[in-house]
């Protein structure tokens, strides 16, 4: 049996469009698109209380991690660190929501550990990516790998053939 390649399991959270994508980042800085949703996947969180929003996103993003791990395993890869990157705070949601969800994953996910970043200024085409860590830790070499590979993954979001699309169930 061959050893699985350890990768950064990376969840991109697009707050304006309320969708997620999950991918891997290999040790040689290659992005591996795995799965994403159509815009609107987080729409049920809009207008709810902070506790309801937090509960919804914890459950939804836990499922995203499970799907990502399953897809990596099938490609002879395994997560050695989980990284969430949001393009901004959760717009139209409670102002503390992003921090609360980030803290939850950083505290409860220890193997592999979690780091959660917000990309200040978003990730518009051509903009320099600036990551603010809001929870968890990421080794500096892995953070450099993330910063180097993120533009490729963000650009790949436009290529529908690169991703497996997850069916959203807005009632869960």
Local confidence band at 172 (pLDDT 50, 70, 90 cut-offs): very low
Question: Mind listing the pLDDT tens digit for each residue in 81-135?
Answer: 999 999 876 666 778 888 999 999 999 888 899 999 998 777 776 667 889 999 9
H or E element, residue 114: strand 114-120
pLDDT at 5: 96
**Of 106, 128, 130, the residue nearest 116 (C-alpha):** 106
Q: How far apart are CA 53 and CA 46, in angstroms?
A: 8
pLDDT at 140: 95
Is this model's pTM higher than 0.85 or not? Answer: yes
- Per-residue DSSP letter, 62: H
pLDDT at 129: 82
3-state secondary structure at position 86: strand
Question: Mind listing the pLDDT tens digit for each residue in 45-74?
Answer: 888 899 999 999 999 999 999 999 999 999
Mean pLDDT value of segment 144-167:
92
Local confidence band at 1 (pLDDT 50, 70, 90 cut-offs): low
Q: Is 113 exposed, middle or buried (0-12, 13-18, 19+ CB in 10 A)?
A: middle
CB under 8 Å to 169, separation ≥6 — which residues? none
């Amino acid at each position: 049996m061959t050893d699985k390649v350890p990768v950064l399991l990376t969840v991109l959270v697009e707050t304006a469009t309320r969708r997620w994508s999950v991918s891997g980042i290999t040790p040689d800085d290659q992005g591996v698109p795995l799965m994403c949703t159509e815009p609107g996947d987080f729409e049920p969180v809009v207008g709810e209380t902070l506790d309801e929003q937090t509960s919804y996103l914890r459950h939804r993003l836990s499922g995203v991690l499970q799907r990502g791990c399953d897809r990596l395993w099938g490609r002879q890869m395994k997560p050695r660190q989980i990284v969430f990157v949001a393009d901004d705070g959760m717009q139209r949601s409670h102002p503390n929501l992003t921090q609360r969800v980030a803290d939850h994953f950083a505290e409860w996910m220890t193997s592999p550990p979690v780091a959660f970043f917000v990309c200040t200024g978003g990730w518009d085409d051509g903009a320099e990516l600036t990551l603010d860590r809001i929870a968890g830790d990421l080794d500096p070499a892995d953070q450099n790998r993330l910063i180097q590979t993120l533009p490729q993954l963000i650009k790949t979001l436009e290529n529908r053939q690169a991703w497996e699309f997850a069916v959203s169930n807005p009632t869960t």
